[in-house]
């Protein structure tokens, strides 16, 4: 190996480390701990998850063979209440991703001040290549593997990437069979007939809209005249496009998916683009639009940019090229710490993921509450309570940002970590 080859390998390793989601989560915590003067013993405790479970799940496939899948559940911190967090079925799921998302969920439940901790789970599989029967057997197998450490009082899963309300229904049923009685509060994101909550489908995006509304007020931005670009056109991206138009009258000029993006200066109709994607598998090619790349979408001159797709979309390499005034993070971990510093210096108002996309877990909490006392709220009550929670969370984070003269992500960490640290110390977990 030549010296230049060795340098290239080293640079690659450094880049991989910089984009490792759990290393990013730890770095963000470290920065907040330093700013707020967090006690070293508490800081050390909060840098790693309380519990990380790896399970092996044998599944009988349709062809008669048995395939064994690897699954994870990370229960990051339960000082404020039972852990809560999604479950992913993904071929590239990793332990570090699960740990990072569990950490961010800990801060997310704390920043919106709901009495839950943070958890996350995943199974390494490709659901696109599996039949419904295979997915059901995998879902039930995961529950059998973890049933002793989950439940309404311990850890409550929810849908995430490639898991659906139907998957949640199978899982709820499996735990109910094991326990011998119905346990609807074990899992959220269920179909409404099985104890799911109204308003869960668009909760992540709707919560983000409430945060965006408050942010626009502070920046003097008229959302009725604002232009919006959305990277990622899954559930959160679609509902963001729909709601930002319906609630505020904003104009969505660009959206994208994994195949690329589209731009239309006169604006895109969310429903029409969604119907086109359902038929064609991508937004690319939508009538009257211009094809652009995901990278080009991020750098459009718009008022509001909404990353709603993948992690690490905005890095130190491209952050300086962003021209938006507000960055609303509906995806988990779309911005790296290096990018945060650049965006702050350039005056981009970043609404961090675990504040901006906390609407989903908030309505999931409402679902838990409704399951617990077997009484279910109407949709307008869900929206009213969600608005209240998100508005209060924004106000707390914005005030903290001003008090510490820092950006919103750091302020959100300070608010969230302070609450978790307080619970840890009050319980005597760390002296």
Contact 154, 117 (CB under 8 A): no
Spatial CA neighbour of 230 closest among 320, 314, 162, 329: 329
Q: Which residue has the tokens 């977990």?
A: 429
Spatial CA neighbour of 426 closest among 117, 80, 104: 80
Which letter does DSSP use for residue 291 in this model? Answer: E
Spatial CA neighbour of 136 closest among 109, 161, 164: 164
* DSSP notation for 189-230: S--GGGTPPTT-TTHHHHHHHHHHHHHHHHHT--GGG-EEEE
Largest CA distance in the chain: 69
* Cα gap 354→334, rounded to integer Å: 11
Under the phi-then-psi rule, with left for phi > 0, alpha for psi from -120 to 50, and beta for the rest, what region is 374?
left
Pairing of strands 260-263, 117-124: unpaired
Contact 273, 241 (CB under 8 A): yes
User: Of the listed 84, 108, 120, 242, which one is catalytic?
Assistant: 120
Contact 186, 371 (CB under 8 A): no
Token pair recorded at residue 394: 């924004």
Interhelix angle 21-36/337-345, nearest 10 degrees: 50
End-to-end Cα separation, the chain, in angstroms? 51
* Cα gap 232→255, rounded to integer Å: 7
Cβ neighbors of 410 (< 8 A, separation 6 or more) are 31, 32, 35, 401, 404
Based on the number of CB atoms within 10 Å of its own CB, is 10 exposed (0-12), middle (13-18) or buried (19 or more)?
exposed
- Neighbour tally for 151: CB within 10 Å: 17
Spatial CA neighbour of 383 closest among 114, 217, 198: 198
* Cα gap 107→111, rounded to integer Å: 6
Count of residues making up the chain? 431
120 catalytic residue (yes or no): yes
> Which active-site residues does the annotation give?
120
């Amino acid at each position: 190996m030549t010296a230049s080859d060795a340098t290239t390998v080293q640079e690659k390793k450094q880049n991989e480390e910089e984009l490792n989601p759990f290393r990013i989560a730890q770095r963000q915590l470290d920065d907040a701990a330093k700013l707020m003067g967090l006690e070293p013993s508490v800081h050390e405790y909060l840098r790693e998850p309380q519990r990380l479970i790896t399970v092996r799940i044998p599944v009988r496939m349709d062809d008669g063979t048995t395939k064994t899948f690897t699954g994870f559940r990370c229960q990051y911190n339960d000082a404020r209440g039972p852990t809560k967090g999604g479950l992913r079925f993904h071929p590239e799921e990793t332990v570090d991703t699960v740990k990072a998302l569990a950490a961010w969920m800990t801060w997310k439940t704390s920043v919106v001040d709901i009495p839950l901790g943070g958890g996350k789970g995943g199974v390494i599989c490709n659901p696109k290549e599996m039949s419904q029967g295979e997915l059901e057997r995998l879902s039930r197998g995961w529950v059998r593997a973890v049933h002793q450490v989950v439940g309404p009082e311990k850890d409550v899963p929810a849908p995430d990437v490639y898991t659906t309300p139907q998957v949640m229904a199978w899982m709820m049923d499996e735990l109910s069979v094991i326990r011998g009685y119905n346990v609807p509060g074990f899992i959220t994101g269920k179909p409404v007939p099985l104890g799911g909550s109204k308003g869960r489908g668009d909760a992540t995006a709707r919560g983000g809209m409430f945060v965006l509304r408050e942010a626009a007020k502070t920046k003097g931005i008229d959302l009725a005249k604002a232009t919006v670009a959305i990277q990622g056109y899954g559930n959160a991206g679609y509902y963001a496009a729909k709601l930002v138009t319906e609630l505020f009258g904003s104009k969505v000029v660009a959206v994208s998916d994994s195949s690329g993006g589209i731009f239309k200066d006169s604006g895109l109709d969310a429903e029409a683009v969604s119907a086109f994607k359902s038929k064609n598998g991508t937004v690319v090619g939508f009538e009257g639009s211009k094809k652009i790349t995901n990278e080009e979408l991020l750098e459009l001159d718009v008022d509001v940019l909404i990353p709603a797709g993948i992690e690490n979309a905005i890095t130190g390499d491209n952050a300086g090229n962003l021209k938006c005034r507000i960055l609303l993070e509906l995806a988990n971990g779309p911005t790296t710490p290096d990018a945060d510093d650049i965006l702050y210096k350039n005056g981009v108002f970043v609404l961090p993921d675990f504040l901006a996309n906390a609407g989903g877990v908030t309505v999931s909490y409402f679902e838990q509450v409704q399951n617990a006392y077997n009484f279910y709220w109407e949709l307008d009550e869900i929206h009213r309570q969600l608005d209240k929670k998100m508005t209060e969370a924004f106000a707390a984070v914005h005030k903290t940002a001003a008090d510490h003269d820092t950006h919103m992500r750091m302020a959100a960490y300070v608010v969230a970590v302070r609450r978790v640290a307080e619970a840890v110390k009050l319980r005597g977990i760390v002296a």
